[in-house]
Amino acid sequence: MKLFSEDLVNEVARECNVADLSCSTIGEMVLVAQSLERRTGIPFVRMDQGSPSLPQNRYGIEAEKDALDRGIGSTYPAAEGVPELKKAASDFIKAFVNIDVSPRSCIPVTGSVMGSFSSFIACAQRIPGKDKVLFIDPGFPIMKSQLAIIGVQWRSFDIFHYRGAALRSKLEEELSKGDVAVISYSTPNNPAWICLEDEELEIIGELATEYDAIVLEDQAYFCMDVRRDLSHPYEAPFVPTAARYTDNYILLTSSSKIFSYAGQRIAITCISDALYEKIYPSLASRYHTTGAFGPTLTAAIMYMITSGCTASTQYGYAEMMNLACQGKINFVEDTIAYSRRAERMKRIFLENGFHIVYDKDVTEKIGDGFFFTVGYGDMDGGTLVKELVHYGISLISLSTTGSLQNGVRACSARMTEEMFALLEERAREFGKDHPLH
């Protein structure tokens, strides 16, 4: 039985200026769910927004307080970041990814969203005619919204049918057109939690070099693939990355999920040293600089957007990274709660007729983590989103993420212990009202 009537849901959607729930954004779905909760007092099972829900890292807080007590709040931070954070980021990448990036090439940004936004600008302007972004979807919808703001065009493909060796021919088909400036993806993936395997990352790296495209690898969920223990600094296994196979890369590493530091808006844009130094005449002409990629990105683009990052937050992030490198904090163990929640949530869905849409990587079953995807019979994602709202479950359609598969994205972040019983009851009622044939 539905908790919310058709008329009530439609009325609330209109009040929230949501034209069509089936293709609603994350923000629109949040508004509708919150409005229905306020109006009726019935709580939603919130799986819409990927906001961390674990306690923020106390070592970062104390380091920020100490920095403020030392008086750093009274002066502007350098555009390229404070030396302590740059060195900590370089060490952190070496400890957990096992690649060498100099401190100079590690630039703090106010969240990975700012890192991708500024990187898209520089990458699309570096070579005339090479100005498109290629997304390996499904992916984070906000990145495409960023391109709309700066007027950069993009193409994408759903990786669902192009895993493993099949990825090479699809990428070559796109890159051979000669206009791709950036190859963008996340691993672990938002929304599907797929993880690109070494074979695929090697393909991406090799083709990025061959076709002179820059890999923009979003590592927002750094070390959160719990199928292997990535928690030991300077010890294998290390985080998989295309950066092992090309010098054309930018890595985005954020504090939001791994240290539950989302409110402080701090991340690192790690540029390969070779790319940092590379000279582009087009950038020199546009910005009246030497045309060196890294300094131009930092001083001529990033600085014009945010004028640097909050200084105290940089010291907090540096402390957390340093302690992780020393093995004194285990952020991987801290974030495993999301995996445990996802495992329970998946089981509830599967027991009530749902199925996992992106259910495997190339060689193994998909892991449990921050996100996962579910479908129901052959119901398309938009219809499933609208129907589940009536049962007090809020998610987003996979169609909004560039996926061509029927289904929805679920997030484990907001699940509390008392919500599991509600989810089980509501999934069961949904199944009764929507029998599968």
Contacts with 106 (C-beta within 8 Å, 6 or more apart), sequence order: 81, 85, 86, 89, 90, 93, 268, 269, 270, 271
The type of residue at 230 is L
Q: Are 427 and 390 in contact (CB under 8 A)?
A: no
What pLDDT digit, counting tens, does each position of 60-101 carry? 999 999 999 999 999 999 999 999 999 999 999 999 999 999
In degrees, rounded to 5, the angle at the alpha carbon of residue 358 between the alpha carbons of residues 356 and 363 is 115
Long-range contacts of 319-324 (CB under 8 A, 24+ apart): 319/59, 319/60, 319/62, 319/63, 319/88, 320/57, 320/59, 320/60, 320/63, 320/255, 320/259, 320/261, 321/85, 321/88, 321/89, 321/91, 321/92, 322/88, 322/91, 323/59, 324/92, 324/95, 324/96, 324/233
| Domain(s) of CATH 3.40.640.10: residues in the chain | 58-325
**How high is the pLDDT of residue 247?**
98
DSSP SS3 for 101: coil
**How high is the pLDDT of residue 282?**
98
Report the run of H or E that residue 45 belongs to, with start and end.
strand 45-46
Q: Are 102 and 90 in contact (CB under 8 A)?
A: yes
**How high is the pLDDT of residue 19?**
87
**How high is the pLDDT of residue 225?**
96
Q: Are 162 and 135 in contact (CB under 8 A)?
A: no
**How high is the pLDDT of residue 51?**
84
**How high is the pLDDT of residue 23?**
87
Distance CA(318)–CA(313), nearest Å, equals 9
Q: Which two tokens stand for residue 274?
A: 């070779």
| Domain(s) of CATH 3.90.1150.100: residues in the chain | 6-54+332-433
**CATH, range 58-325:** 3.40.640.10
Distance CA(74)–CA(372), nearest Å, equals 44
Dihedral angle sign, alpha carbons of residues 223, 201, 375, 134: positive
**How high is the pLDDT of residue 56?**
92
- Global confidence as pTM: 0.95
Distance of CA 393 to the CA centre of its chain: 22
Give the CATH architecture of domain 6-54+332-433: Alpha-Beta Complex (3.90)
Distance CA(212)–CA(204), nearest Å, equals 11
- Strand stretches in 56-202, DSSP E: 106-109, 132-137, 154-158, 180-186
Tens digits of pLDDT across the chain (437 residues): 899 999 999 999 999 999 888 888 888 999 999 999 999 999 999 999 888 889 999 999 999 999 999 999 999 999 999 999 999 999 999 999 999 999 999 999 999 999 999 999 999 999 999 999 999 999 999 999 999 999 999 999 999 999 999 999 999 999 999 999 999 999 999 999 999 999 999 999 999 999 999 999 999 999 999 999 999 999 999 999 999 999 999 999 999 999 999 999 999 999 999 999 999 999 999 999 999 999 999 999 999 999 999 999 999 999 999 999 999 999 999 999 999 999 999 999 999 999 999 999 999 999 999 999 999 999 999 999 999 999 999 999 999 999 999 999 999 999 999 999 999 999 999 999 999 97
Alpha helices in 288-416 (DSSP H): 293-295, 303-306, 311-325, 331-351, 381-389
Q: Which burial class, exposed, middle or buried, applies to 55 when counting CB atoms under 10 A from its CB (0-12, 13-18, 19+)? A: exposed
Distance CA(6)–CA(200), nearest Å, equals 45
